[in-house]
Structure 1
Amino acid sequence: MQSFIGTGVALVTPFKEDFSIDTEALRRIVNFSIDGGIEYLVVLGTTAENATLSQEEKELVIKTVIDANNGSLPLVLGVGGNNTMKVVDELKTRDLSSFAAILSVSPYYNKPTQEGIYQHFKAVAEASPIPVILYNVPGRTASNMLPSTVLRLANDFKNVVAIKEAAGDLVQAMQLLKNKPKDFLVISGDDMIALPMVLAGGSGVISVIGQGFPKEFSEMIRLGLNRKVDEAFKTQYILDDCIDMIFEQGNPAGIKQVFLSLGIAENVVRLPLIKADEILAERIDQFVKKINKIG
């Protein structure tokens, strides 16, 4: 599982002004991430606006990323949902040969009990032919996958290899880190506390901002992994303002504005999301210009 130590990025799905998928922009984003030193790429996560894509569009995104990546980095595919049978069916029928793992979100909206979450992921683990990275994001799912449930899954299923922990709770993350099996990876799902989680024993991050500033962010995480604390926090404190900004009006509106400022992709999102307003867009644009001057 060395592939998932460091920085992965949850890729956006860039759109043209007519809301169709901009495959050329997606290729540019993949190449920008690779050139910036990112360790792996996550396809069709929340940041990809997965919920607004048709099945045909999802296939187009997958094909485009696989082609653009051309074997350079490990790929992780988002395969999750709140219909367990549907998730299991996808795992049994989809060609996963290009992917190193799946990222599977805890069931949302239904608000299952901890036992329900366990049984859901038991079915996922038994159906998946490749490693499974759990994804806990209570702010979106309306239920928190507790450390006891995560550790039970990690101990019961060899192919449950990691968790993307995005509860925004360092104490909860530390409970996982303290009690996890030796080879189980705890990966931050929050850009702002990714470095503290790494310093506490985490394995890295699946990041949003990392695709906008891949060189700076991935180097910060590597410095943290190598216990070069002062150097790592120097970068953290530079990026802090923009981390706040990109989530201020919803994800991925903020990171898409970063890509517009970089000249890589448009800042188009699909309803019910809306693009960053003019004030936020200007603030992000000024930050990008400042980072480019520093670089």
Structure 2
Amino acid sequence: MKLEYKILTIEDEETWFNVTVKRPLSEYLSDKGFMPKIEREDGSNFSDTMADPSIDLILMDYNLAGGGNGANLINSIRELNVFTEVLFYSGKEDEMREEARKLRLEGVYFCNRTEVGKRAQDIINFAMDKVGQTNAMRALIMSEVANLDMTINSILKEGKPKLDAEKLSKFKDNIVGKIHEQQFENMEKIETWVKQDPTIIDEILDDRFFDSAKKAMALSSLAKAKGGVPKALKTTHTKYQSEVLKERNTLAHVCQGSDGCIRVGECVYDKDKFLTIRKSLIEHIKNIDKLRTALNS
């Protein structure tokens, strides 16, 4: 599971979907520290989206308008070796369960149409309990930070052409200076960079020594050099380092105890701690996206 939690609802009544599914489940997932992506299709035809293996949960009206049948759709999905969890719902729950039993449908849940929201939350909670295990949570956090590293690098390369020659030169010097401070053992390479002109910035950005912390600081440097960027976004790297990178680095070098938790001094990495980290990650993903927009404006 990633920070983004995808739900596809096969439902022909759009208003019912918005009120009963999309709005409450979006709020629920956000409160749990995940980014909801909840979409709807009317089920009139089988689509590639229904068989997308990245979807976490499918909610499906068993008896669709126009005579459509959810069992037929789920069989089409299973034939493609996609085993996403499915929750069937119907106003005639007993009839639905009996028919599904005869059809021997596998890997599906059932509920009354009036209980879709609550039952979906139960399924989500079960999935999150698995993700909440320490090693899985550690992998999620490190994966998301790696994705942010690539995003930041992309923003830096996009923003570079927007600077005039003087600002570009200062920007390059700022990046090299940060690396120079922390990488004394690589002085030969750094000295080569110092002597070259600003056109070699891409080479620096792609070097493994230009790590996550330096990327974040360079992003702030680019924002200041370009100008016109809100102050709160210019200084986002400070919180990013303390709220995200520090946690990532800690989780990369510790092991969980016999109780399934990680302890670093008085700090315990339990469900509540991981919830805080997930919400912080989401905040920084949004801030970095806003910064990209500001830099490209």
Same fold flag (TM > 0.5): no
Structure having the larger proportion of residues in helix:
2
Q: With structure 2 as the length reference, what TM-score do the two structures score?
A: 0.27
Greater RCO, 1 or 2 (C-alpha within 8 Å, sep 6+) = 1
Determine which structure has more spread, i.e. the larger CA radius of gyration. Answer: 2
